[in-house]
Amino acid sequence: MRVRKARLPDAAAIHGLIRSLSYDGTLLPRSSAEIYENVRDFTIAETDNGEFLGCGALHLYGPHLAEIRSIAVDEKSQRHGSGGRLVEALLAEAESHNVPCVCLFTRIPNFFQHFGFAQVERTALPDKIYKDCANCPRINACDEIAMARGVLPDIAILGPAHVEEHLVPLQL
């Protein structure tokens, strides 16, 4: 098995896997167009023969925060290390960008605790909340656990009061 950055031809497999896991609410649905637009955020796991096993993405909010999202491994390939290898690759990518905090929202916190993630309050991640949660169909019935690894940010750059590209201290 190998892990590598996704390329445009991988977008269809990424979209298919995410779509298959969004029907039951495991993942949030992502349109094909969204996958194509953001394919450079994705890393994939594949067999040595090039068979697609799974994917994950690293979304950068700014110099203060990144998010691991859309971690998915094909059901027949689970429990063979692909998910862990994807998380490790995405954490290394965040580190290469010098991002001090990586967050994620999950229903399987025990898996991510093995990589140094700890549960945090959602309010500690205002950029994530503004960008994604505010438009989520499950906003009032979310069952995902917010987790972070590293130093929680004390700034936010997104939101109606932060439309300019300036780093604004959080009002806690």
Q: How confident is the model at residue 159 (pLDDT cuts 50, 70, 90)?
A: low
Can you give the residue ranges of every domain in the chain? 2-169
pLDDT, averaged across the chain: 87
Identify whether the C-beta of residue 44 lies closer than 8 Å to the C-beta of residue 1.
no
DSSP 115: T
Helix (H, G, I), strand (E, B) or coil at 138: coil
Residue 118's pLDDT is 96
pLDDT digits (tens, 9 = 90+) for 68-86: 999 999 877 777 789 999 9
Please state the CATH superfamily assignment of the domain spanning residues 2-169 in this structure. Answer: Gcn5-related N-acetyltransferase (GNAT) (3.40.630.30)
Q: φ and ψ at 76, to 5 degrees?
A: -70, -15
Consecutive H or E run containing 162: none
pLDDT digits (tens, 9 = 90+) for 4-37: 999 999 999 999 999 998 887 778 888 999 999 9
Residue 139's pLDDT is 67
Mean pLDDT calculated for residue range 149-162: 76
Residue 23's pLDDT is 80
pLDDT digits (tens, 9 = 90+) for 47-61: 999 999 999 999 999
C-alpha torsion sign, points 76, 81, 84, 90: negative
Residue 166's pLDDT is 41
The amino acid occupying position 85 is R
pTM of the predicted model as reported, rounded to 2 decimal places: 0.86
